[in-house]
Structure formats: C-alpha cells, structure tokens
A and B are shown apart, each in its own frame.
Chain A
C-alpha cells in the first residue's frame, strides 16, 4: 500500500460524501484516521500517513448488515482494492477482508471490520461473508467493541472512536509483546504487531493532554464493566502488562517508536527515551489507578 499524507478532515468529508446517508449509523471509523481526525488541530501541518480507513460495522455480530452494506456500496460504484479477491468457499485458507475504493477515486479505501459478538473469546475472529462474487472475511477483534463506547460524531455525521477507547482496545489486545509480526511493511520495516499497536497507544497518550489521560482510568473502568461484565476485574488489572513488557524490551520499543515516527507522531520526531517517558506517564496517570481499583492487597 502506497503511503501519502492526507488531510483527515478531507478524508472524513470524502467518507461522508461517498457513504450513503442511511448507512452512516452502521459505520464507525477507528484506527489512525479516527485518531488523526480527533487531533486534527494538533496535526494540521502533518496529515495522516495512511490511505486505510478502518471502518467498523455496527452492531455487533452484524454479518448480514455487513453483507448488505458491502453489496450496497458495490452497487453504488465502490470498487474492490487490488487485494480484495473473493474465494470460492467459506473455508478457504485465507479469506480476504472487504476493502473498497470510493466511487471514482483511489485516494483512500475502507476496510470493513465487525464488532465482536458477545462472548467472543478469540483475540481475532474471521467470519465468512458471501457476496455475489464469492466469499470474503469479516475480521472482528475481541476488544474492538470498546471503541463504540463514548464514540464521537463529526459535523458531517460520520462517527468515530475516541482515542481513550482505541488505546484501551490496543492495550488489552497485547498483554505481552509476543512474536507476531505485521504482514506488510511499516515505513520499510516489518514490525511486531504488538509494537505497532502499543506504539499507537503511546501516540494517543502523547497527543492528549495529561489532564485528559488522568480521566482515562474512570472511563476505562466504566467501559470494561459495560462490555465485559464477567471479567472486567481481571482485564483492569492486566491492562498495563503489555506496556510494562514493552518498557523492558529496547528492540520492541524501537519498533514502537518507528511505528509512530512514520504515523501519528511523524512531526514530533520522537525518541525511544521519549516513548519510555510517555509509557511511564500513562502507567502513572491511567493504568495504575485502573488496576488499583481492584487490587485487593
């Protein structure tokens, strides 16, 4: 995927224009575009270094809605990206995600994601979706449902996830650094997935004022109780585990730095020392207070 700098305001306006109005309640923008739009004033000189607008289909488990939306968009002139290739059967080795260019443009594309169904235990689940030309996959991430909480709405009606919930989703998705790597290159490097996502967390913390990150513990607590009523205690106490491990892993921390250096924090030229300091601050401001709410000893 070629990368270029795009204005998040412009991208949101394009999405608003290209997505039929009656479908807007069903979509939620997440990921770097949502973050860039939220902090568009701070990042106004930078743009967002992505063409990929991660769009989550609401409500949870909405396979039929996803099928309807994809079919509708294709009918209105949206086109598949080069890698969005159907498979003949739903149990094919690798189903491709549905990625669509808007009508008459290749300035960006949307990737359809699904909200996790209640009770989903897998970190990532692929649900097969059949369109007219074959089978595709609808990925849903276990903690992505958190991003619907407290979602914001742009003036043009497009909804997007808040930085605090995207941060929590990423933190919970990586309780350890692990070894899984991204499929493609990020800024010319093949990064650990955890480093990329935890780097995003630090970028979100960096862009927020500390007065704001100090409110994240309370928001996270409420979101966890609402979304995971049977396990919010455990999740609250381990939410910072991956970040703590990142602090102890210089190589992974450098990959995290690289990810934000070519992403959200490109204009700040962050160093590893700064990333570590941001991690320490986030632990003190939000993660330790969250864990302390449930620590019994």
Chain B
C-alpha cells in the first residue's frame, strides 16, 4: 500500500481482508490540523471505525488486487447506523471487547453480529463474509455469525447472487452458520439464507436503526454527531452528576471541558431532546437520571474518544494485575491516574468484585507510552484478537479531575472515567451498582 504522508502517521485500523497487512498505520495521535490539507494517497478503500475523519483525505480503490487494508469509516454521521443498532440490540447483545473481530456478541455467547454502515460492492461483501467466516472457524461453538449491513448501491437481487456465490465456496460447516440481514438499495430488506424468527426480528431492529440514522426518529432531531468536544462535555456532566455536585452552569461546563460555548449548547440541546438533562432555575444543567441512552452510545464510542491502548504481558507469566499496580504506584508518570476496578473500590468501598481483572490507567493528553515498558519491559500493545489485556491506558483529552489517594500516591481517575472503564470491562451489573452507590453517597470523599 502506497502512502505519502509528510510525517510519520498511524491509523487505528481493523483488518478485515484476507491478507494480513505488512504494516499498519495509526493516525490516532495526529491532530486535525496535522491531517487537514494533507493528501493521503491510499491504494485501498478506507473505512474508519468510530472516528471522525476529516474530509481532506482522499482515497482510491484498488482495482486489480484485493484491498490490503480496510477501515470502517464511521465518523460522527456515518457511525449512526451501528450506534443506533447498539441501542436496538440492548438486552440481547453486548458490544464486543476491544480488538475483537466482531461488533456485538449475544449474552449467551452463541451469536455474533458484524454491523456495517455501507457495503458498496461485491468486494466489500466478500471481505465481510470472509471476516465472519474466520470468526466461525476460530470459534466452532458459535451457532451464528450475522452480517447486518446496508448496501445502498446493491440491488436486492444482486446482493442475493453475490452472497450465494461467496458462501458456496466456503466449507459447509461454516457456510451454514453465516447469515445476512441487509437493507439493499432503496432499503429493500434481504434476509439470507432464509427468514426465521431471529433474523426477522433482527431485520426489524436494523430497519429501526436505519430510520434513526436517517434522522427519521422525531426524538433525534438534534443529530449533530458526537465529537471529542461534545463527548468531553457529556463526560463532565456525568462526572458532576456521579459526584452529586448539582447543576453546572454553561460557563463551568465550558471551563471544565475546554469546549466552546457552541459545543456545550449543542450537547445540552441534544441531551435535552432525549429527556436526559434537567435545567435549574439558575440555568445550570445536570442529568435528570441515569443517562442510559447516551451512556449506551458512549460505551461504544469511548474507545475512540479516550484513545485506549491495551497491553499484554509477553513473558508468558500468569497475569498479575496486583503486582503491576504495585509497580505503577512506584513509577507512574506525571498526569496518570488509576481507574477501573481499583478506582471503583476507592469510591465505593464495598464494590462487589473479587480480585483485579486488569489495571486501567488514565493519562491526560497524548503523551508517549514509553513509561509502560519502563514499568514492565514485558508489556507490549495487544494485537488483533488478543482480548486479555493486563493493562489498558486511556489517553483522555479533557482536563482530568483526578482524586487524590489517601497516601498521596498516584491519584484515582474521576468517577465518570471509572464508570466507562467498568463498562469496557463488561462489568455491567457492577457498573450499574457503581452508579447507584455514587448517587446514594455510599462512597468515600
């Protein structure tokens, strides 16, 4: 793949083609200023998973060879379909772990869903099918892998033909577990191999998600995409609400989030449309109750806004998060704070979980992560498919409100950061209980 940047760049990618990339690019650390106006000449289709992508980037499709790298572009606007689908699937599916090859997993662990905003042609469809086929091959206990997609440029008949043509070359043990729920051109529904109760219901949810994405849901009139700034405002609101601080003025929200007045206004308007915000007589704002809808969206989006990096222990030793915590307490860099389960225990002394599944650390800004290897040289970034990180570092963009530890050592991340960590750990019931405990003031500090 030919790339002509003028500075080292990197792309947060998820490879779905049949070929492994010889190199991966990560642009997560580039600012919009650095990207704007630069012409990236990429010889493949590009999609970016859940990250705003400036319009200055050009792309060119590969004609002769299968795409070497594919990225799902799901910026604020285009991320609507998977996000909307996430809301529709609540209760039956959960968002997959970081580095997973699929987007959603059923709670019983027997089904997975890959959601695509737009498959533009047979090549995209083939890549998606192969990606799911690999998942099924790696997990023979899975009953179904379902591709839920919109194919605005493929008519229903062509979609059926292309699906069958690819499925027919696969091993029967895999092919019979692959399903498609798609909205083809003109939103014509396509369910393959055949309709049943599950797939019919999934088509209904996909149609609703598509409607939400198109802004047809009356409750979603204010559909400005979530951005890093509006996320920051939302997180400040959540943090203050969990701390029971009461309503925050516009000025205070702008100051804490470092967002513009316009961003604060847009965020409050959007949340107000959803009925999640209540305003005080002094024009301050706070969440009326648990902001379940936006929280569900943020659970999906948090990785991109927090720029989280998972690390695994390459030594082969049994993972020991407590030992790692001890080391980090001795040598954490400036601006780092401990989150996750350890922070949850700080805020809620009777937090209901034994042990420490992993360590979460939040760092302000986008500093180098060299300090991780200085703490433990065996730690390396987790690769695709490696889900058992012992450490996850979240690089947060908003000014942090860390809480001091009793021993004045490494501080703890704020309760909003901590809550997002708990959801990222899929400790859903503990996360919900954390909210309740914080709101009941059964906490320290």
Measured CB to CB, the residues of A under 8 A from B are: 206, 209-211, 268, 270-271, 273-274, 276-278, 280-281, 283-284
Contacts and interface: CB of A to CB of B under 8 A. Distances in A.
7 contacts: A210-B323, A271-B316, A274-B314, A276-B314, A277-B316, A278-B378, A281-B376
A253 B317 CA distance: 18
Contacts of B313: 277
Nearest to A265: B316
B332 to A, nearest CB: 16
Contact of A277 (B320, B323, B377): B377
B316 A280 contact: no
A285 to B, nearest CB: 9
A13 B315 CA distance: 33
Contacts of B320: 210
Contact of B378 (A211, A268, A271, A280): A280
Contact of A283 (B314, B315, B317, B377): B377
B227 to A, nearest CB: 39
Contacts of B377: 277, 280-281, 283-284
B315 A281 contact: yes
Nearest to B375: A284
A51 B317 CA distance: 27
Q: Which of B315, B376, B378 has the most chain A CB atoms closer than 10 A to its own CB?
A: B315
Nearest to B379: A277
A1 to B, nearest CB: 28
A219 B376 CA distance: 22
B378 A281 contact: yes
A283 B316 CA distance: 17
Contacts of B314: 273-274, 276-277
| Chain A, interface SS category | helix
Contacts of B316: 206, 268, 270-271, 274, 277-278
A211 B378 CA distance: 15
Nearest to B378: A277
A206 B323 contact: no
B315 A274 contact: yes
B346 to A, nearest CB: 24
Given A274-B314, A277-B377, A277-B380, 13 more contacts: A206-B315, A206-B316, A210-B320, A210-B323, A268-B316, A277-B313, A277-B315, A277-B378, A280-B377, A280-B378, A281-B315, A283-B377, A284-B376
Nearest to A271: B316
Interface string B255-294: 0000000000000000000000000000000000000000
Contacts of A273: 314
Contact of B317 (A206, A271, A276, A280): A206
Nearest to A274: B316
Nearest to B314: A277
Contacts of B378: 277-278, 280-281
A210 B316 CA distance: 13
A277 B313 CA distance: 8
A250 B146 CA distance: 43
B331 to A, nearest CB: 11
A238 to B, nearest CB: 20
A280 B316 CA distance: 13
Contacts of A211: 323
A179 B156 CA distance: 68
Interface string B306-350: 000000011111001001000000000000000000000000000
Interface string B86-124: 000000000000000000000000000000000000000
Residue of A268, A271, A281 most packed against chain B (CB within 10 A): A281
Nearest to A280: B377
Contacts of A276: 314
A81 to B, nearest CB: 36
A283 B374 CA distance: 12
Nearest to B376: A281
| Residue among A209, A211, A276, A277 with max Cβ neighbours from chain B (10 Å) | A277
Nearest to B323: A210
Contacts of B380: 277
A274 B313 CA distance: 9
A209 B315 CA distance: 12
A276 B315 CA distance: 8
Nearest to A269: B316
A276 B377 CA distance: 10
B165 to A, nearest CB: 40
A250 to B, nearest CB: 16
Contacts of A284: 376-377
A278 B315 contact: yes
A288 B380 CA distance: 21
A51 B323 CA distance: 36
A280 B380 CA distance: 12
Residue picked from A210, A211, A270, A278, most chain B C-beta under 10 Å? A210
Contacts of B317: 206, 210
B313 to A, nearest CB: 7
Contacts of B315: 206, 274, 277-278, 281
Contacts of A210: 317, 320, 323
The 10 tightest CB contacts between A and B, nearest first, are A280-B377, A274-B316, A277-B378, A277-B315, A277-B314, A278-B315, A281-B378, A284-B377, A273-B314, A274-B315
B381 to A, nearest CB: 13
Interface in B333-388: 376-378, 380
B182 to A, nearest CB: 41
Contacts of A209: 323
Contacts of A277: 313-316, 377-378, 380
A217 to B, nearest CB: 15
Nearest to A202: B315
A284 to B, nearest CB: 5
A45 to B, nearest CB: 15
B315 to A, nearest CB: 4
A73 to B, nearest CB: 41
A146 B315 CA distance: 27
Contacts of B323: 209-211
A210 B377 CA distance: 13
Contacts of A271: 316
